[in-house]
A = this chain, B = another copy of it.
Amino acid sequence: MTDTQDATTAKSGDAKAPSRRSLIGWGGAGLALGAAAAGGGVAMSRVGNSIDGAAPAAADTGAAVAFHGASQAGIATPVQDRLHFAAFDVQTDDRAEFVQMLKDWTAAARRMTAGKAVGDGAYGGLAEAPPDDTGEALGLKPSRLTLTIGFGPSLFEKFGLKGQRPAALVDLPQFPGDNLDKTRTGGDLCIQACADDPQVAVHAIRNLARIGFGTVNIRWSQLGFGKTSSTTPGAQTPRNLMGFKDGTRNIAGTETDRLKKFVWVGEGDGPDWMTGGSYLVARRIRMHIETWDRTSLQEQEDVFGRDKGEGAPVGKAKEHDKPFLKAMKPDAHVRLAHPDSNGGVTILRRGYSFTDGTDGLGRLDAGLFFLAYQRDIRKGFLPLQRKLSAHDALNEYIQHVGSAVFAVPPGVRDKDDWWGSTLFSKEA
Contacts and interface: CB of A to CB of B under 8 A. Distances in A.
Interface stretch (A42-50, A92-100, A131-139, A375-383): A131-139
A134 B364 contact: no
B129 A239 contact: no
Interface stretch (A149-157, A249-257, A266-274, A293-301): A293-301
A225 B223 contact: yes
Contacts of A309: 24-26, 122-123, 138
A243 B130 contact: no
Given A239-B136, A239-B139, A242-B136, A123 B297 contact: yes
Nearest to A309: B123
A296 B129 contact: yes
A84 interface: yes
A226 interface: yes
Interface residues of A, number: 68
Contacts of A84: 355
A130 B202 contact: no
A366 to B, nearest CB: 8
Given A209-B364, A364-B206, A220 B357 contact: yes
Interface centre among A125, A135, A353, A356, by most chain B C-beta atoms within 10 angstroms, is A135
B243 A135 contact: yes
Interface string A348-376: 00000101111010101010000000000
Interface in A2-53: 24-26
Contacts of A243: 131, 133-136, 138
Contacts of A198: 82, 198, 225-226
A82 to B, nearest CB: 8
Nearest to A241: B136
A299 B178 CA distance: 48
Interface in A294-342: 294-298, 300-301, 307-309
A198 B353 CA distance: 10
Interface stretch (A72-80, A210-218, A408-416, A420-428): A210-218
Contacts of A353: 136, 199, 202
A297 B127 contact: yes
A135 B244 contact: yes
Nearest to A134: B243
A218 B364 contact: yes
Interface centre among A209, A293, A356, by most chain B C-beta atoms within 10 angstroms, is A293
Contacts of A210: 290, 293
4 A-B pairs with the lowest CB-CB distances in the bound complex, closest first: A135-B243, A127-B298, A123-B309, A198-B225
Given A82-B198, A218-B364, 14 more contacts: A123-B309, A125-B297, A127-B297, A130-B295, A131-B308, A135-B243, A136-B226, A136-B353, A198-B198, A202-B366, A209-B364, A218-B358, A221-B364, A222-B357
27 contacts: A24-B309, A84-B355, A127-B297, A128-B296, A129-B296, A129-B297, A131-B243, A131-B297, A135-B243, A135-B308, A136-B239, A136-B240, A136-B242, A136-B353, A138-B309, A139-B239, A183-B360, A202-B241, A206-B289, A206-B293, A206-B364, A210-B290, A210-B293, A219-B362, A220-B357, A221-B355, A223-B355
